[in-house]
Amino acid sequence: MRTLVKNIKELVGVETSPKQRKEGKEMSVLETVKDAYLVIEDGKVQAFGEMKDLKEGNADQVVDATGRMVFPSFCDSHTHLVYANSREHEFVDKIRGLSYEEIAKRGGGILNSAKATAAASEEELYDMAQRRLEEVVRLGTGAIEIKSGYGLSTDSELKLLRVIRRLKENSPLTIKSNFLGAHGIPMEYRGHQEDYVDLVINEMIPKVAAEGLADFIDVFCDKGFFTVEDTARILEAGIKYGMRPKIHANEMAVSGGVQVGVKYNAISVDHLEQMGDAEIECLKGSATMPTILPGCAFFLNLPLSPARKMIDAGLSVAMASDYNPGTAPSNNMQLVLSMACIRYRLTPEEAFNATTLNTAYAMGVSEEVGSIAVGKKANFYITKPISSYEYMPYAFGENKVERTFLNGKEV
């Protein structure tokens, strides 16, 4: 199957010599081709270039993109997309003055989601998640990481991970799964949380591994949740079973989360609202992608992660949605792109790299997605008629995506 997309006003995010990720000054490099064509063969990018150089061969499908731009699909490297219930009542509690930590302490928050998840069947969870995936595709996302973490018991965690496995099997998106058994401390373990950590290590991880259910191992390493010591133990156990660390760190406090993540070669450390100079230093020269979650900071009114400072220090930065019912009930990577520019002062070029190639790296798939490059999956979207690529972050809240293609097929 050969598809030609022609008369593209501007083809954005191409790579002639593909990189695994972009860091520091490289983040402001965004290659584009004006008045372009794109050829897809068997689901992969086969060629691209200027219309004047197009040698029209046989194509099974021709798409005319006159007036429209083409972008690589967003990669959303941090989501909790499998959940049973929304939590707008807590949202109202927060408006009335309760903090996220206070709600969590009295059994709301993650434990609220865990209760509803325990009551839902695998089938129900799958149907809900499937519908959510269809929505994110319409907004331009083509690859997504999905965590468990609303189970908090062995059975419920396995149920969530099996749902993610079914999504992987049936969805055109590129999906990676992350086991987040250590997301919250169940009520019955309060005061002796080391016993819950033992359960994660001795029972959950071996069972998850036996069914091959997780690509990554996650821990909510933060004040009021899991300690650096808990985190180290869990990551070591996950690594033994072939899961690479990819963790929550430094949302509530400068907690040592970044350091423990880097120590265990995490593919990413995520949140980073609370960062000191030591954290930035520690990330330098590491393989760990610092990942910021603008939707969560917006929704909880948290301090902003020092993205500008990190990029100026030469680091890579990725930005993902954190899509979840408690702290970021938004699936919209176009909005993340806008917030990257508006709230974190990234240039549009940096923001595109932060939400495509660098998030692809943060979920271990930057060799196959994250840019338009020969041999990569043909995951892209065609916009509505727009004036320039800067319009994408500028027009926040509007869906600029008209058509989406995953593996070269329109979805």
Between CA 383 and CA 390 the distance in angstroms is 13
- Which phi and psi (to 5°) does residue 403 adopt? -135, 145
The tokens of 357 are what?
A: 């190639």
Residue 40 or 320: the one with the smaller Cβ distance to ligand NIG is 320
Q: Which of 322, 339, 362, 401 is in the footprint of Fe ion by CB under 5 A?
A: 322
Q: Which of 73, 174, 177, 324 is in the footprint of ligand NIG by CB under 6 A?
A: 324
Contact criterion met (CB below 8 Å) for 27 and 307: no
CB of 243 to ligand NIG, least distance (A): 18
Q: Which of 65, 182, 260, 296 is in the footprint of ligand NIG by CB under 6 A?
A: 296
Q: How far is CA 3 from CA 59, 62, 128, 168, 233, in A?
A: 5, 6, 32, 25, 49
Residue 291 binds ligand NIG (CB under 6 A): no
Residue 65 or 340: the one with the smaller Cβ distance to Fe ion is 340
Residue 273 binds ligand NIG (CB under 6 A): no
Between CA 82 and CA 324 the distance in angstroms is 8
> 77, 122, 105: which is closest to 361 by C-alpha?
77
The region of 66-74, 105-113, 234-242, 367-375 touching ligand NIG under the rule CB under 6 A is 105-113
Site for ligand NIG in 167-186 (CB under 6 A): none
Residue 294 or 393: the one with the smaller Cβ distance to ligand NIG is 294
Residue 109 binds ligand NIG (CB under 6 A): yes
Residue 300 or 313: the one with the smaller Cβ distance to Fe ion is 300
Q: Which of 21, 248, 376, 400 is in the footprint of ligand NIG by CB under 6 A?
A: 248
Sign of CA dihedral 94, 98, 104, 108: negative
Residue 322 binds ligand NIG (CB under 6 A): yes
Sign of CA dihedral 189, 192, 194, 198: negative
- Quick one: what does residue 251 bind among Fe ion, ligand NIG, none, with the CB cut-off 5 to 8 Å set by partner type? ligand NIG
* DSSP-derived pairing of the beta strands 141-147 and 244-245: unpaired
> 266, 245, 338: which is closest to 295 by C-alpha?
338
Question: What is the binding site for ligand NIG (CB under 6 A)?
Answer: 80, 109-110, 113, 220, 248, 251, 296, 322, 324-327
